[in-house]
Amino acid sequence: MAKITGLGGVFIKTKSEVTRLLEWYRDVLELDITEYGLNFLVPNELTLITFEASEGETVLNFTVDNLDDFINMLKEKSVQITSPIKEYDYGKFAQIKDPFGNIVELWETRSDNYIQMVRKEIHDYKK
Rounded to two decimals, what is the model's pTM? Answer: 0.73
Rg from Cα positions in the chain? 16
Within a domain: residue 118? Answer: yes
Number of domains making up the chain? 1
Which structural domain range is residue 95 located in? 58-126
Q: Which CATH number fits the domain that encloses residue 112? A: 3.10.180.10
pLDDT of residue 2: 45
Within a domain: residue 93? Answer: yes
Within a domain: residue 105? Answer: yes
For 109, other C-beta atoms within 10 Å of its C-beta total 18
Q: Contact, 110 vs 66, CB < 8 A?
A: no
Within a domain: residue 20? Answer: no
Element at 63 (helix H, strand E): strand 59-63
Within a domain: residue 29? Answer: no
Within a domain: residue 103? Answer: yes
Within a domain: residue 34? Answer: no
**How would you write the pLDDT of the chain (127 residues) with one tens digit per residue?**
645 555 555 667 677 778 888 888 889 988 887 776 777 666 565 555 555 555 667 788 888 889 999 999 999 999 999 999 999 998 999 999 998 888 888 888 888 887 788 788 877 866 6
* φ, ψ dihedrals at 63, nearest 5°: -85, 145
Within a domain: residue 69? Answer: yes
